[in-house]
Each structure stands twice: as C-alpha cells, then as structure tokens.
Chains A and B, each alone.
Chain A
Amino acid sequence: ETGVTQTPRHLVMGMTNKKSLKCEQHLGHNAMYWYKQSAKKPLELMFVYSLEERVENNSVPSRFSPECPNSSHLFLHLHTLQPEDSALYLCASSQVPTDYDYGYTFGSGTRLTVV
C-alpha cells in the first residue's frame, strides 16, 4: 500500500446509524486532515491532527468525532447525521513544518450519502 488510503469508498447511511471512516497514510507524514467537499463549495477543513494532537476543529458539529490513535491512522466517527452532511469526505496527510514541494497528499475520498 502506498500513499493515503481511505475506506470505504462509498457509504450510505440512515440518520440514526453510527459508522466510521478510516484513513491510513504510508508516507511517514506527521500531520493528518479531514476535509469535506460539497457541490459548488470549496474544500472545508474539518479537523487537523499534528503529531497525533488535534490542533484544529473548525466548528464542526459534534455528530462528527475524529480519532487519531497514531500518526498513520485517522478515523472520523459519524452518528445521527443529517441529509446535508452528504458529501465527499477527504483525508489528507502532510509533513509539518510544510514541505513546500509536496503540500498535502489526499486519499481517494469517501462518498457519503445520508438518507
């Protein structure tokens, strides 16, 4: 496995379900990120973990709960979501301080649909 791997690729869940998104990076980076991408909106930064410590939480509703057990793994736990939470959820990793030549490496994303 190389790069950043996200599972599952697609997820359909009801509003009362609990599910988790998983991200794993094989690049030796020390920071990981969750982004949300909705139609016609810029990528929205949700959470940042740097050296396994959460350093950013951009007013994300509590129905989204991140977990970073080590520098290679990142989870996003989901519960009681709303239909407006349907989007592409992207995980990314990077080396901080910023590696100017490489920026962020993104995973393939999880396409989430809340019904």
Chain B
Amino acid sequence: QKEVEQNSGPLSVPEGAIASLNCTYSDRVSQSFFWYRQYSGKSPELIMSIYSNGDKEDGRFTAQLNKASQYVSLLIRDSQPSDSATYLCAVNGLGTQGGSEKLVFGKGTKLTVNP
C-alpha cells in the first residue's frame, strides 16, 4: 500500500515567520509531488509541484525534494494569516491498470499563522 505521511499538526507560527511542512512517502518509484492548500470547507487548490531533486521556488513558497530520503517539504516564507489552512502533500503513483495514474494524498497538516 503506497503511503504518504504528514504531521497532522496543528502547526502554529507567528506572522512573518517561516512555516515548514514535511512529508514522507513510501513508494520509491513515485515521480512527481504536489502541495495543495485547502481552506476550511473548500476544495484543495494546487500551490506547488516538483519532480526533480532540489529546491523549487515560487514567490513565498519553496518546495524541496529528496528522492533518496523519500522526503518532500514546503517552506512558506513571511507567513501571513491568509496562509492559515490545511496543506496536503500528494504523490503521483501508478494505478492498478497499465498506463493509469493516480495521486495519493497525506492526511494534511493544519497551519495557523497568528497575527
């Protein structure tokens, strides 16, 4: 069973701080990795994707991938109260039939940014 593990939190940081969210995955053949943000009562929205080892930066967000350690993280710099949400890590894997693909999600980490 492919698994994606995240600390459920809650993670609380002060406004302006760096929030660090972590994720580990069990399937070594996974190729692509995604971070979704989900506000309470809303659907998940994609904020970052990464598929090469190293860092990928987009504005205040940086995704980090280490395939050897099966670890992916998300850093949020200069955290804002509007960043308060649940962050879902998702890992691409193969489906049960040839050629099919699917995303496996972690339980999510709830982040609260305090003004």
Contact = CB atoms under 8 A, between A and B. Distances in A.
Interface of A: 31, 33, 40-43, 45, 48, 50, 55-56, 90, 96-98, 100-109
10 closest A-B pairs by beta carbon, nearest first, are: A55-B100, A43-B105, A106-B43, A55-B97, A103-B34, A42-B107, A100-B32, A42-B105, A56-B95, A109-B43
Chain A residues touching B, majority SS: loop
B49 interface: yes
Of the four ranges (under 10, 10 to 19, 20 to 34, 35 or more), the interface on chain B belongs to 20 to 34
B45 A42 contact: no
A108 B102 CA distance: 19
A38 to B, nearest CB: 11
Nearest to A44: B105
B67 to A, nearest CB: 14
Given A42-B106, A48-B95, A96 B44 contact: no
A55 B90 contact: no
A42 B108 contact: yes
Contacts of A41: 107
Contacts of B102: 33, 45, 48, 56
Contacts of A106: 43-45
Contacts of B51: 100
